[in-house]
Amino acid sequence: MRILFLTCVLALLCAAPAFGAADVCVECHAKTTPKIVSDWKNSAHSGVGTDCATCHGSEHTTAEDSHEAALATPETCRQCHPQRVEEFSNGKHALGWKSYKAMPTTHWQPMTLRTGLQGCSGCHKIGLKSEEELQELREAGSTYGAGSCDSCHTRHLFSKKEAQSPQACRTCHMGMDHPQWEMYSSSKHGVRYKLVQEGSLPEDAAAPTCQTCHMEGGDHAVMTGWGFLGVRLPMPDDEEWAEDRATVLKGLGVLDPQGNPTDRLEVVKQAKVARLTEEAFRKEREEMVKVCSQCHQESYARAELRRGDDMIRIADDLLAESIRVVAGLYEDGILKKPDSYKYAYPDLLTFHDAPTEIETRLWLMFLKHRMRTFQGAFHINPDYALWYGWSEMVRDNNYIEQRAEELRRRARVDKLLEQ
């Protein structure tokens, strides 16, 4: 028994940081970064003895060697939270950095937007990164987001309660191309949760949060049925929808003009921004039905999700029609196809780098209004689905068709003047 006791004591001493190490860090940082210290003192980490050296190492001891402080990454968190880090690694958030870098014109953006907090990278840094990518961030002098976990569990408090609040999701899931916060917070779900937060409804009232639906039981492997792009394989049995979806896939550069897969399909696979098998889609759909059935009858849940699918079908019809109009302008030489476009279709993933007014209107139709059409439906917000989504797509389509006719008319006039 005595030997066992001594063994346990020795193990604890070996695992513990050097005596007084945390006190040294706190003494200095209480002056230089006091809120970091107060956050850590209020954290669960502080209560269980996880100190600065646990995450940042012990090489940094003076103001002159601050660069020696180790950069915390998900692997740092894995030491104590292996299950959650493994779940996170299998979810779409872990792919945020890869999907950002996969966009065809990311490298055209100003460096500040690519490495700092001013552009897409500010949110997409939640994704896992290779050691080479981490080194690039170090050299750029912007290591924010390298830890990934701290995107939701803000350092150095790393609060579980904060990460469980829908407001934690708001910092990224809002704005032009994915206004989930705006849709959720003004939906019946979001309004009821707000009433719970302010005490107007009891704490156990049915009031789902983002985490209720997308992180059931705390599962960090976040994934959705349709994926960010709102496209999936195999093609639907409905021939008209299948043709429209093929056109959308051509606009995304996943299929070439003849309908054959391109090398970009592999990028979409790796980034998991679309479900590419029926099994993958059904897995996510059934998990969502299970969640919805906690508050609703299963038949009602399935019916509402099918209505969301129908909104994608309706949106695809409008978007495909506009894509074909612009592609026709390329084919007839009315509109010059950008040299950066690999195929004879407008590239929806060029975003704001679209070179002309009509092409800009097309990517806005895809990224802003189509997203609102189907995301509004799945977030149970009819106003977003209708007025901010489908109605705007109708206006986009009208504009693109009218503008295309003007361009064709001008081309005919120019040709007559040349004769």
pLDDT band at 197 (very low <50, low <70, confident <90, very high): very high
**Does the pLDDT at position 162 exceed 60?**
yes
Q: 3-state class of 228 per DSSP? A: coil
CATH T-level fold of 223-418: Hydroxylamine Oxidoreductase; Chain A, domain 2 (1.20.850)
Domain boundaries of the chain, sorted by first residue: 73-163, 173-222, 223-418
Question: How high is the pLDDT of residue 331?
Answer: 94
Question: How high is the pLDDT of residue 415?
Answer: 87
Question: How high is the pLDDT of residue 250?
Answer: 96
Cβ(127)–Cβ(97) under 8 Å?
yes
Q: Dig out the tokens for 146 from the structure.
A: 């390298």
Question: How high is the pLDDT of residue 18?
Answer: 41
Residue in 55, 60, 54, 48 with CA at minimum distance from that of residue 73: 55
**Runs of H (alpha helix) within 33-71:** 34-41, 44-47, 52-56
Cβ(377)–Cβ(385) under 8 Å?
yes
Question: How high is the pLDDT of residue 21?
Answer: 61
**Does the pLDDT at position 46 exceed 90?**
yes
Residue with structure tokens 């689905």?
385
pLDDT band at 11 (very low <50, low <70, confident <90, very high): very low
Q: Return the bridge partners of 275, or none.
A: 232
Window from 38-47, 238-247, 262-271, 386-395 with minimum mean pLDDT: 262-271
What is the 8-class DSSP label of residue 368?
I
Question: How high is the pLDDT of residue 128?
Answer: 94
pLDDT band at 66 (very low <50, low <70, confident <90, very high): confident
**H or E element: which one contains 146?**
none
**How many CB atoms are closer than 10 A to CB 419?**
4
Output the furthest CA–CA distance in the chain (Å, rounded).
106
What is this structure's pTM?
Answer: 0.90
